[in-house]
Each structure stands twice: as C-alpha cells, then as structure tokens.
Amino acid sequence: MKKIMFTGGGSAGHVTVNLALMPHYLEQGCTVDYIGSENGIEKQLVASLVDVNYFPIATGKLRRYWSWSNFKDPFKVCKGVVQAYQIIKSRKPDLIFSKGGFVSVPVILGARLNKVPIIIHESDITPGLANRIATRFATAVCTTFSETASELKEGTNSYHVGAIMRPEIMGGSADKGRRLYGFNPNKPVLLIMGGSLGAQSINRVIREALPQIMKQFQVIHLCGKNQLDPSITNPDYRQFEYLDQELPDVLAMADVVVSRAGSNSIFEFCALHKPMLLIPLSAKQSRGDQILNARSFQKSGYCEVLEEENLTVDSLMKGITGLYANRSKYITNMRASKQSNALSYVQEIIGTYAKK
C-alpha cells in the first residue's frame, strides 16, 4: 500500500481514531492525506502530524431540526463533493478511511465516483446521520459495539473491531500530571469532560457546585471552545478548552471522571480503569446515541449515569460522592473487561481492502 486517505470531523470524537491510525502508516513510509473542513477542529488536530497532507473542502451540516441553513447547506455539500472528487482523482489513494461526521459525506461520494475502496468506522451503537448515508457506499464498516451490525443495511460487510484507542493515552504519568498543575498528591482529582465542543449545562452546574466539589477534590475541567470562565482563580481548579499532549498525564492522575458519553472517550476511561459518572446528551439534543452508550456501560458495571434532565447541583454532588465512595467496585469490573487489539485489527482490514 502506497497511499491512504482519511476523513472525519466536526468534533474531536470524529478525529481521534484517525489520529490513532495515521502514525502507523507514516512509519511505514506511506503517503497519508486528510480531507477535512476548512475551519473545523479536525484541521487543528491533524496539524500535530506534520507529515500528513491536509486538504480542506466546503462542508454543510446535516441537521435533523429546522434551520434556514438547511436551504443553503446542500449547495455546500455539492461543492464539497466536487472538491473531494477532484482531490481524490489527483491524489489517487489506495483506500479512504472515514471516521464520520458531516465532512465525510462529500468525501465518501467523491471516493465512490473514483472507485476507491472505502472503510467506515462507527463508534456508537447506532450510526449517526452522516454514517447512515455513507455506509450505503462503503466497502466495509468497522464497529465498536457488536449491536451496531443490526443497524446496518443488510449485506453490508461489517467487522466488530472494538474500541480503537490512541496508544499514547495509555502511557500517561500521574506524578507528572500533578507536578504540571501543582496538585497535592494526597487530595483526589476529579476530571470533567464535556466534549471538544463543550457542554454548557454541565459547565454551569459544575461551576455552581465548585465550592462543594473542591472540599474533597482537585478539579481539571475541559469545558470546550470559548467556554472558559476567567473569574475562577482557585488553584485547585484548572480549566481548559481542550488538552492534547497533556491529556495522558491528566487521565493518569484522575481518580474519577464526569463526562459526556461519547464512545471514544468512555472506552478510553474503561481501558484506564477510571470510574465514570456519565451525563449523556439528551434525546432532545441528539439521536440518543450517548444514552445507549451510557446504558451499555452502566449495565456492565463500569459507570453511573445521570440524565441531563435531572442534572442539578444536588444530583451532581450525590453522583460524584457516590462514585468516589464505590470506586473500587467500578475499577474491579473494568479490570475484568476484555479489550481487543482493535488498532491492529483495523490495520489488517485496511490492508485487505486497499487497491492493489
């Protein structure tokens, strides 16, 4: 295999799997290209791999709700298809690997028109709208949850690969994390993650509860883009829009986690044996995929779930204190879980389907 092209974007969850895969192909001497949006988070994240060639295209969001943008975005998608088609025709990749998100649809269509093999990865139990469209044109689909196969069109070549995780996530140092942020090693650390785009409802309640939280915990709060609160200066509370290179050390030092229920993140927490209080996106805000993810993990004994509709300072504090008090139970259950070598499996599938 000489050339492989990746796509996916809109949120960090649609990029992290690609970030886990791309270094392998760079080390093998392959040409690695990436098609993403002009200003999305994927452009920022992929920039950390200097040998990856990034190609921006026009994108239009696929919405399930009313918006005036629904009238103009189809034209952006069409423009993106033309751009992707031309890029793929020029670059001649052996295979396209898509992580999903609305930017991926024009790329998948452009790849199909160029007769390039397409592999899609779906992280959640149920595919998102972009992947529901894209899987119709895919050569193969890789899934994180075994239940996802029943959601795909009959006849789809699907592979249950498990969770694909970045190897560097597993190599963090708790001591390094504490030194980096000046944290007391004798006081537990609470990590709060609302997703790369943030979660305003979680951020608001967390900040209301901070006086109570910081009686017991030191806090690392990943609050999302443009959601920092500069008025909070307590040294036991550190807030960031997003963390990249420091994240493995932050995960290593975290004793418990409050998070959304995006598949990539919660599988990483599970692999690191981090007890979780999951606050999934509500059905009003999404198709309900995070609710299904959270319930699956709760059934396995890896987490507790707090529905966003029930999120208050009191319910949050009850969830956090109960999670920490019973943390050994969740850690034991996660240690007993079987994590497959998904990264190697997907690389094998890519090698099978790449153009010869």
- pLDDT tens across 308-341, in order? 999 999 999 999 999 999 999 999 999 998 766 7
Q: Specify whether 111 is located in the same domain as 17.
A: yes
**CB 265 within 8 Å of CB 254:** no
Query: Residue 165 phi/psi, 5° resolution?
Result: -120, 145
Q: Specify whether 149 is located in the same domain as 256.
A: no
Q: Specify whether 7 is located in the same domain as 123.
A: yes
Instruction: Measure the CA–CA gap between 278 and 194, rounded to whole angstroms.
Output: 10
Number of domains in the chain: 2
Q: Specify whether 263 is located in the same domain as 348.
A: no
Q: Which of 23, 31, 17 is nearest to 93 (CA)?
A: 31
| Model confidence pLDDT, tens digit, residues 11-68 | 877 898 999 999 999 999 999 999 999 988 899 899 989 999 999 999 876 655 556 5
| Pairing status of strand 158-160 against strand 118-122 | unpaired
Q: Specify whether 81 is located in the same domain as 178.
A: no
Q: Specify whether 235 is located in the same domain as 145.
A: no
Instruction: Measure the CA–CA gap between 91 and 156, rounded to whole angstroms.
Output: 27
Residue-range definition of the domain harbouring residue 254? 171-335
* Average pLDDT across the chain, whole number: 90
* CATH, residue 40: 3.40.50.2000
Q: Specify whether 195 is located in the same domain as 287.
A: yes
Tell me what pLDDT residue 187 has: 97
**Residue length of the chain:** 356
Which tokens sit at 81? 């298809």
Supply the angle between the helices 327-335 and 313-325 in degrees, to the nearest 10: 60
Among 148-152, 267-271, 311-315, 330-334, the range scoring the smallest mean pLDDT is 148-152
Tell me what pLDDT residue 104 has: 92
Instruction: Measure the CA–CA gap between 195 and 172, rounded to whole angstroms.
Output: 20
Q: Specify whether 228 is located in the same domain as 287.
A: yes
| Model confidence pLDDT, tens digit, residues 71-89 | 667 788 899 999 999 999 9
Instruction: Measure the CA–CA gap between 328 and 323, rounded to whole angstroms.
Output: 9
Residue 121 in this model has a pLDDT that exceeds 70: yes
Residue 147 in this model has a pLDDT that exceeds 90: no
Burial 255-270 (b: 16+ CB within 10 A, else e): bbbbbbbbbbbbbbbb
| Model confidence pLDDT, tens digit, residues 294-316 | 999 999 999 999 999 999 999 99
Question: Residue 282 contacts by C-beta under 8 Å, 6 or more apart in sequence?
Answer: 291, 307, 308, 309
